[in-house]
Amino acid sequence: MAYAKANDYIVPTHDLDFSTILAATHGEKPSVVQIRVDDVNPDAIGKQVIAALQQMSTDLADGALLTVDTNRTRVRLLPLQPRTLEDR
């Protein structure tokens, strides 16, 4: 995470640990793209991921957590704020 932040990289992941790190550290960078599907094969999810990256490029440049799953894409700006019941 430190290397990605220092080099202004975006971290793609299939792991929830990165969002946990962002939440715990109140990090503003690096942006993280979580792919939350069972089949991460580019043939299965690639077009959806590319579309999400293009659509959310400004947010990702500023610092964001982008989550892509089968049914939807959502973005949360960094630093992550605690969620309330209304957010769910």
Backbone φ, ψ for residue 19 (5° rounding): -70, -35
pLDDT at 44 (0 to 100): 92
Q: Using CA atoms, how far apart are residues 61 and 38, in angstroms rounded to an integer?
A: 27
Predicted structure pTM score: 0.88
pLDDT one-digit tens code per residue, 33-64: 999 999 999 999 999 999 999 999 999 999 99
> CA triplet 5, 21, 74: central angle to 5 degrees?
85
Indicate the domain borders of the chain: 2-78
Residue 81: pLDDT band (50, 70, 90) is confident
